[in-house]
Amino acid sequence: MLTMQIQAGAPLITSPGSTGTTTAQSTPRRLLYLALVVVAVPVYVADQLTKAWATANLQPDQPRSLIGSVLRLNLIRNSGAAFSIGTGPRGS
């Protein structure tokens, strides 16, 4: 019966070899997720560590020169949302 279905071009019963295509398609997706995690986690950790360092070692309005005048760090706080949107009085 399986031979007749295959010859007709539309098998109704999956053959044992056809399940390999599903795992072959999911493998690149898993690798993509793994690559995303491998990149995102260290970037997030580095971001949090640099924020903690800046808060502990920099003072507002007192820039710290690292490489002469080429690289200078200045602590600036943003009380609003992105790009200082919403820093004014808030309504209730």
Helix, coil or strand: residue 72: strand
Alpha-carbon dihedral of residues 10, 12, 13, 14, nearest 10 degrees?
50
Q: What is the pLDDT of residues 36-74, one digit of tens each?
A: 999 999 999 999 999 999 999 999 889 888 888 889 998
List Cβ neighbours of 77 (8 Å cut-off, separation of 6 or more). Answer: 60
Q: For 20-31, write each residue's pLDDT tens digit.
A: 455 566 788 899
